[in-house]
Amino acid sequence: MYDSSLKPVSMVVVPAINNSTAADATNLIVSTLTVPFADHGYYVLPMSIVDDIFKNEGITDGSQLVGMDASVFRDNFGADSVLYVTIEEWDTNYIVIAANVTVAMKYVLVSTKTNEVLWSYQAKQVVDTAGDSSGNLIVDLIKTAVQTAMTDYVPIAYRVNNMAVTSLPYGVYHPQNGQDAEAAVVSKAAREGALAQE
């Protein structure tokens, strides 16, 4: 990522691979990806247009694109990198009167020039949705169930994305581009962990 000949300027985000039990997670995640990566200095091709192109071609899940040569995205979109996102968890968990909402994602950024993995990361956010204890078990159960059911996953997904991009070197459109190389921004352990699950 610090090699100027490989460092991406633009990225196309393909439809997410959904390994969670939530059928709507793929559609909801689309709205949360552009801003964190754009704010980090990368040009992200407009998600709505890219998503429409994929849908018109019958591609609704990123698993349909796994193994495809990344140069296809350079030839068709002009992007010099492609971002694969896997939704590992998008779940609600109940334990007696406790509950939480979990969003976990894996990111892999691949060069469309060389087909090499440039960056990968795994991020997870767990939000406690249990209500304050009133001392009445039935009331607490109802309060926790309502609070958990009303939890909006989208802000949690934003936090997960923001957590992930902090490990990504700044892009060319960020004022700190090229100044973070000595800080060892990319975590080797996170990178190897994400690649090991490919």
Specify the pLDDT at position 144: 47
Domain boundaries of the chain, sorted by first residue: 10-88+105-122+153-191
Distances (CA, A) of 135 to 31, 79, 95, 109, 129: 40, 57, 17, 49, 17
Which are the contacts of 48, defined by CB distance < 8 A and separation ≥ 6? 30
DSSP the chain: ---TTT--SEEEEPPPEE-SS-TTHHHHHHHHHHHHHHHTT-EEPPHHHHHHHHHHTT--SGGGGTT--THHHHHHH--SEEEEEEEEEEEEEEETTEEEEEEEEEEEEEETTT--EEEEEEEEEEEE-PPPP-S-HHHHHHHHHHHHHT--HHHHHHHHHHHHHTTSPP-TTSTTTTSSGGGT-S-HHHHHHHHHT-
Write down the pLDDT at residue 77.
93
In this predicted structure, what is the pLDDT of residue 69? 92
The pLDDT assigned to 137 comes to 47
Per CATH, domain 10-88+105-122+153-191 is 3.40.50.10880 = no
Torsion of CA 58, 62, 64, 68, to 10 degrees: 120
Q: What gap in Å lies between CA 94 and CA 77, rounded to an integer? A: 43
Are 90 and 21 in contact, with CB atoms under 8 Å apart? yes
pLDDT at residue 20 in the model? 86
What pLDDT score does 131 carry?
52
Q: Which stretches in the chain have pLDDT values below 50?
A: 137, 139-151, 185-187, 191, 198
pLDDT reported for residue 114: 92
Q: What is the pTM of this model?
A: 0.77
